[in-house]
Amino acid sequence: MDLRAELLKSIWYAFTALDVEKSGKVSKSQLKVLSHNLYTVLCIPHDPVALEEHFRDDDDGPVSSQGYMPYLNKYILDKVEEGAFVKENFDELCWTLTAKKNYKPDRNGNSVVSHQDAFKLWCLFNFLSEDKYPLVMVPDEVEYLLKKICTAMNVELNSCELDDYLSQEPQGQGGLTVWQFLDMVNSGQLLRGIEQEAISMAVEEVYQEVIEDGYLWKKGQLRRNWSERWFMLKPSALSYYMSEERKEKKGSITLDKHCCVEVLPDRDGKRCMFCVKTSSRTYEMSASDTRQRQEWTLAIQTAIRLQAEGKKSLHKDLKQKRREQREQREQRKAAKEEETQRLKQLQEEKERKLQELELLKEAQRQAEILLQEEEQRRRQQHEEMQRTLEIQLREAEQARASMQAEMVLKEAEAERQRKRILELEDMQEKLQEALQQEVKARQDEEAVRYAQARLLAEEEEKLKQLMKLKEEQEEYIIKTQREKQVLKQEMENKNKCLEEAQKQLEEVRVNRQRVDQDVMAAQRKLRQASTNVKHWNVQMNRLMHPIGPGDKRTNVSGGVFAGYQPLLSRRDSSLK
């Protein structure tokens, strides 16, 4: 797979993501934005004139993938230079466009892989997918990728569960799409009980192995110090950068058939060391562990071998070999099926001829048997007819006897029916009598209900009269209270007069020696006032006693003014 084919796979995902209506066409404005972003990530000089000219607004409508390919090939893919751009940035652009529309992880956060791991699996899927559209990965490659991830986690892949899942999942074009593959991984059926961090580390390890890049420590040539660099392996060269962004390239090691890789012992505080010897220089490097050193040394040796054989990449070569093996296996399977089908046809032809021979022999035997059976059948028909006539005669006699017995039973049944009718008529008369009694009882019940309603009406009338009497009594009580207020006011006036009389008595006491005649007149007035007070007290007591319905008027001595009697007596004694 060359660089153009790799780029076209990612661009195909971006194009289909922009096809919202799934009509196979994308609007020109969206393609213009996509082309501008491709210029940027592929580090190609922008050509705004060609961009505006190709995607100018006209009446042609949206552009299909076939209509976009001429511009894509001429102005973008033909200008791409390998190593001049960061392919990971290009993949991230296409992944962002397609994942926003198609990738649907678990909203509850229960996904097995993170968004970044899904991006790496998408890159690995593109690398291992078939070179035809729509892109799919055959089951063998799915099993190969899952086995590498499980091997990185030191676990074994359950092939039975994988086969069950693949048998249940609908497969188009003979394989899984990338979204079906990601759903399978996120379902957790194949990676059950494994933490997300372990899966993420395994995906990262497989991604770096297939993409053939990663961090190593490198010893400098002049200052002889150790620096961590990001290495990227190609069959022709081993390039190293300041960081994985690959913005600043620090150098490159050219690989040819004269290069070799050797493992070095640990020294200078560094472990897992190895070196790459070229015809002009020896490069010393250090890996993080023994496994990584083994992978790097094996990958560099394979790259040197592929360079000598004129091949591009180890994993691409392995992928091509697996594809050739699949094709050979399918060819052998097809040839085997064809041979089996041919043998089956010959066997069927032989069996058919044998069946025809057997049919001829069987037809001859059947003809002889038919003649014998025909003769025997005629004799049997004659005997059967004779037996049938005898049976019919016996059945006619039995039918006549049964008819006579049935007539006797019918007459007995008719007699029972007549008796039953008489019993029903008697029962009907009794039911009519019971109905008349029930009607009479209902009439009596209606009369009782009428009398009860009349009594209730009378009781209601008496209740109304009682309420009316109660209202009259309340009115009378209110009237009496009003009169009581009036008498109370008069009593207060009398008290005022009494107070004035007391004042006059005081004046009389002071001047009794000078005015004896006035004292006598005051005594007479006082006695007259006392008499008047008693009289009013009697009248007040008479008015204060409420009169109820049917009560007799009684003369009650004393009342409100009875309390004044001792006071007046004391005053009379003092005057005396």
> 285 - beta bridge partners?
218, 274
Q: Dmax over Cα atoms in the chain, in whole Å? A: 189
- Region of 409 on the Ramachandran plot (φ > 0 left; ψ -120 to 50 alpha; else beta): alpha
Contact 171, 217 (CB under 8 A): no
Does residue 449 lie in a domain region?
yes
Total domains in the chain come to 2
- Per the domain annotation, does 228 fall within a domain? yes
Question: d(Cα 526, Cα 513) in Å, to the nearest integer?
Answer: 19
Please, what are the averages of pLDDT over each run of 10 residues along the chain (576 residues)?
77 84 81 85 81 65 73 83 77 87 71 82 82 80 81 79 75 74 79 78 77 72 80 79 78 85 85 88 86 81 75 59 70 83 88 88 88 88 88 88 88 89 88 87 86 87 88 88 87 85 79 71 81 82 65 45 45 46
Identify whether 298 is part of a domain: yes
CA neighbor of 257 nearest in space, from 308, 311, 313? 308
Q: Is residue 390 part of a domain?
A: no
Residue 35 CA neighbour count, 13 Å, CB half: 28
Domain assignment of residue 305, yes or no: yes
CATH of the domain at 223: 2.30.29.30
Q: What is the DSSP letter of 513?
A: T
19-57 burial code (b ≥16 CB/10 A, e <16):
beeeeebbebebbeebbebbbebbebeeeeeebeebbee
Query: Which among 19, 35, 42 is positioned nearest to 134, based on CA atoms?
Result: 19
Which of 262, 294, 312 lies at the terminal end of a domain, its last residue? 312
Q: Look up residue 212 and give its two tokens.
A: 């053939």
Backbone angles phi, psi at 434, to 5 degrees: -65, -35
Q: What is the pLDDT of residue 106?
A: 66
> Which of these three, 296, 312, 328, is where a domain ends?
312
Q: Which residue, 283, 312, 341, sits at the end of a domain?
A: 312
C-alpha to C-alpha distance for 439 and 123, rounded to whole angstroms: 98
Q: Tens digits of per-residue pLDDT, 99-125?
A: 888 887 765 656 777 888 888 888 888
pLDDT tens per residue across span 44-89: 888 777 777 777 665 455 667 777 788 888 888 888 887 677 778 8
d(CA 94, CA 77): 15
Give me the pLDDT at residue 319, please.
64
Tokens, residue 523: 């005594």
Indicate whether 237 belongs to any domain: yes
Q: How far is CA 508 from the centre of its chain?
A: 111
Per-residue model confidence (pLDDT) at position 568 = 43
How far is it, in rounded angstroms, from Cα 357 to Cα 352?
A: 9
User: What DSSP designation does 24 have?
Assistant: S
Please report where in the chains the tokens 């491709």 appear, as a residue: 38
pLDDT at 548: 59
Whether this model's pTM surpasses 0.85: no
CA nearest neighbour of 526 among 462, 570, 469, 560 = 570
pLDDT for the residue numbered 571: 46
Helix (H) or strand (E) holding 525: helix 516-544
Token look-up 């209606």 returns 446
Residue 397 tokens, joined: 């006699």
Whether the bond into 134 is cis, omega within 30 of 0: yes
Domain that holds residue 446: 423-457
Query: Rounded CA gap, 565 and 531, in Å?
Result: 11
Q: Is 303 contained in some domain? A: yes
Kindly write down the DSSP assignment for every residue of 47-63, as one continuous string. Answer: -HHHHHHHT---TT-SE
